[in-house]
Amino acid sequence: MSEERDRLVEEAGRTIARGSKSFRFASQIFDLETRERSWLLYSWCRACDDITDGQTLGHDAQVPNDPDARIAFIRDATDRALAGQPTGLVPFDALARVAGETAIPDSLPHDHLAGFARDAAGWRPETEQDLLSYCYQVAGVVGVMMAHVMGVPASDRDTLDRASDLGIAFQLANIARDIVEDARVGRTYLPREWTSAEGIEGKGLADPAHRQALARIATRLADLAERYRRSSMVGAARLPFRSRWAVLSAARIYGWVATRAAELGPRAWDQRIVTTKATKFALLAAALWDSFRAPAPVSRSGLWTRPKAAATAPPRSRRARPSTGRPAGRRQNRS
């Protein structure tokens, strides 16, 4: 049993090393058990994203010919994994393992799949609230699942909501960075009310003629991301030290991406914004300092909040969950 878990962790580690250098960088700070569990969860999230988009490890996205079939496949494999049935697919067996070890409610992976279903349907947000609900599905809910991995109990609603806030902030940063790249494959996550206000509705967002308008939108996204990031820091302060430092490091890195997109203005999409190792180490050091300070009190009033039913739905009956092969330790909580 332990050998099988080790194999899943090894495969998941290889996936994260190729698919998200920033997340892997921050995850090194976790204690071993939390790090391995975060990799197992990431493996499933990455696979769902890649299958939906017809891409490889987050790159070279294409519009797939069979989006409905892809979503049906993901849902079936996820349901089998959550029911304790071996799938023979590393990412889905990895989900089964981490969900079994941390009691992640089944409702949370299903919330995540709802975001991929929106992508497969060619969905686009009409309003800012639509955008935020999508950001929850594709990233905020991962923050909630990661909070479970790090030991936050289901009863701690506020901390889980703030974990969702961090995931939302991450996704807003990604959207700002990738506006033009997404537009080139026929996608936009910008609310129609925003682009209409800028007078670019119905026009190709990848057209360089629209860069000034896109720069204003990127600033708007960065400002919105910062509101959610600041809220998340209140929740992060409640985590064990190593988890707190890891989360605050990720928050600093993704916050830098959003800020950089706003700073570059119309030049933000001349080339992909990347975080160098030197920048990451500087941000990690800043996050270490953050870890020793009490965060400024931030109310969640006015922030988008995940549906209560999704947060409290109990997990479906499963087979007995396998042992980790390690001492149990304190059960612990993505963004």
pLDDT per residue over 141-187, tens digit each?
999 999 999 999 999 999 999 999 999 999 999 999 999 999 988 88
User: What is the percent of the chain where pLDDT is above 90?
Assistant: 72
Structure tokens at 171: 């996704």
Q: How far apart are CA 200 and CA 204, in angstroms?
A: 8
Q: How far apart are CA 247 and CA 287, in angstroms?
A: 9
Question: Which among 63, 203, 192 is positioned nearest to 121, based on CA atoms?
Answer: 63
Whether the predicted pLDDT of 328 surpasses 50 = no
Q: How far apart are CA 112 and CA 295, in angstroms?
A: 29
Whether the predicted pLDDT of 20 surpasses 70 = no
Digit-coded pLDDT (tens) for 30-80: 999 999 999 999 999 999 988 887 654 444 445 556 888 999 999 999 999
Q: Average pLDDT for residues 314-326, to the nearest whole number?
A: 36
User: How many Cβ atoms are within 10 Å of 149's Cβ, its own excluded?
Assistant: 27
Q: Average pLDDT for residues 94-102, to the nearest whole number?
A: 95
Q: How far apart are CA 89 and CA 82, in angstroms?
A: 13
Instruction: Say which CATH class 124-296 falls into.
Output: mainly alpha
Residues of the chain with CATH 1.10.600.10: 124-296
Question: How much is the pLDDT for 204?
Answer: 85
Helix segments in the chain, DSSP class H = 2-19, 21-27, 32-53, 67-82, 90-102, 107-120, 128-135, 141-149, 157-177, 179-184, 192-197, 211-236, 241-264, 277-291, 308-312
**Which of 12-16, 18-22, 35-39, 88-92 is predicted least confidently?**
18-22
Please check whether residue 235 is in contact with residue 159, taking contact to mean a CB–CB distance below 8 angstroms. yes
Please check whether residue 94 is in contact with residue 43, taking contact to mean a CB–CB distance below 8 angstroms. yes
pTM of this structure: 0.86
Q: Greater confidence, 136 or 119?
A: 136
Question: Which among 136, 156, 307 is positioned nearest to 239, based on CA atoms?
Answer: 156
Q: Average pLDDT for residues 231-245, to the nearest whole number?
A: 96
Q: What is the mean pLDDT of the chain?
A: 87
Q: Average pLDDT for residues 197-208, to the nearest whole number?
A: 87
Whether the predicted pLDDT of 326 surpasses 50 = no
pLDDT band of residue 23 (cuts 50, 70, 90) is confident
Place of tokens 């304790």: 84
